[in-house]
Amino acid sequence: MQVGKVRKKDTVVVIAGKDSGKRGKVLRIVTKKSAALVEGVNFVKRHTKPNPQKNVKGGIVEREAPVHLSNLMVICPECGEAVRIGHRRLEDGRKVRICRACSGVVDR
């Protein structure tokens, strides 16, 4: 799934907010909110009720919350920097994402 230039399993860096500068892997894209769930970023505390049927203990649980896509930049696997992303068609007709800094292919 893709919204804009960030995709699932991309390594991204947060460029704004309380977690600015943190890096992580995109776990999930929330298309309706234009946001992404990033591993190890934007922890929030949830107060949960105990539910013995589902084996859930009550208490305060910390988990990741979605980060808006405008606050994320993709890290290029070739140059290792946070870069803007462009698109290009290859000779075999595939459309791939490219790094604007080094012109390397970002897609696997």
Q: Which helix (H) or strand (E) holds 36?
A: strand 35-38
Which domains are delineated in the chain? 2-47+62-83 (2.30.30.30)
The answer to whether 20 and 72 are in contact (CB under 8 A) is no
Contact call for residues 38 and 12 (beta carbons, < 8 A): yes
What pLDDT was estimated at residue 5?
Answer: 87
> Could you tell me which residues come within 8 angstroms of residue 62 by beta carbon, excluding any fewer than 6 positions away?
43, 44, 45, 46
**Tens-digit pLDDT string for the chain (108 aa):** 555 689 999 999 999 999 999 999 999 999 999 999 999 999 999 999 999 999 989 999 999 999 999 999 999 999 999 999 999 999 999 999 999 999 899 987
Q: Model-level pTM?
A: 0.84
Instruction: Write down the pLDDT at residue 107.
Output: 84
Q: Which residues pair with 33 in a beta bridge?
A: none
Do 78 and 104 meet the contact criterion of CB atoms below 8 Å apart?
yes
